[in-house]
Amino acid sequence: MKIASLKVLVDQINNDLGCFCVEFALKRKELGQLRRCSNRNILFKYDENSGRDWAINEGGGSEIQYHIYWREDEVGYGLGFNAQYVPFANEKTPVDYIKPFADAFLVLLKKNKEDWINRCHFDWLEQDEDRLKNIQKDNYVLFGKRISFKNGEIADENYHLMIEDIKGPLYTIYQQVFELKKTKSIPTVPCVIIYPTESVKGGNPVLGTPLQMLCTNRERNLSHFYKIEIPLPVVI
């Protein structure tokens, strides 16, 4: 298969993935609890005017991401972890965004290393496991597979294997990382239950029923609740 550039390769992959692009966009929306889907017609987004030798899935800058690159005599593809700055992602540091995904991946890697490396033949393409464990600002870690080519020609069997990897084992890992990341999320701010108290003239405050719950974590784990009693005005 003749491929003249990364743009041509990305367009071909997006076309050959077909309905998987729709499935992926809907699944990412579900897993990330997003308000809207990314482009359902593509997996990889690439601007040929950017001068980049890589592309990622749309919206994947601060998440575990599908990644593909084109360099000299090889194409690499797989799942990436980006601790570099992403425009408009300003609520956290780049490391804070990606570390929960990295930690979830490492838990899964420990359980599935034999399968992922020996059966699927994935490996570290950028950095390694130790770097992912201690990911720092501006790091980028990529786990996947390389394809060698000559004179812009990729062997058909290698290209078709890449398509199957993207739709198969890499997609499974992608989903598992998102799911585990959600279950391992730890609230950064404790929940608060506010109880009203009724001031009784000449007596002690009487505890009432819960008025309001202020909670930043989604799991609403009672072990993270504090009780605050707020006196109501005394009626004379």
Q: What is the pLDDT of residues 17-54, one digit of tens each?
A: 999 999 999 999 999 999 999 999 999 999 989 989 99
Over range 63-75, report the average pLDDT: 95
pLDDT tier for residue 137 given thresholds of 50, 70 and 90: very high
Higher pLDDT, 72 or 52: 52
Q: Which helix (H) or strand (E) holds 98?
A: helix 94-113
The mean pLDDT of 149-176, rounded to a whole number, is 95
Helix (H, G, I), strand (E, B) or coil at 135: coil
Model pTM score = 0.78
Using an 8 Å Cβ cutoff, are 162 and 147 in contact?
Answer: yes
- Average of per-residue pLDDT values in the chain: 84
**Smallest Cα–Cα separation from 178: which of 77, 94, 60, 70?**
60
Spacing of C-alpha 235 from chain mean position: 54
Reported as a single tens digit per residue, the pLDDT across 1-14 is 888 899 999 999 99
What is the number of residues in the chain? 236
Higher pLDDT, 95 or 194: 95
The residue ranking higher by pLDDT, 82 or 214, is 82
In this prediction, what percent of the chain has a pLDDT beyond 70? 78
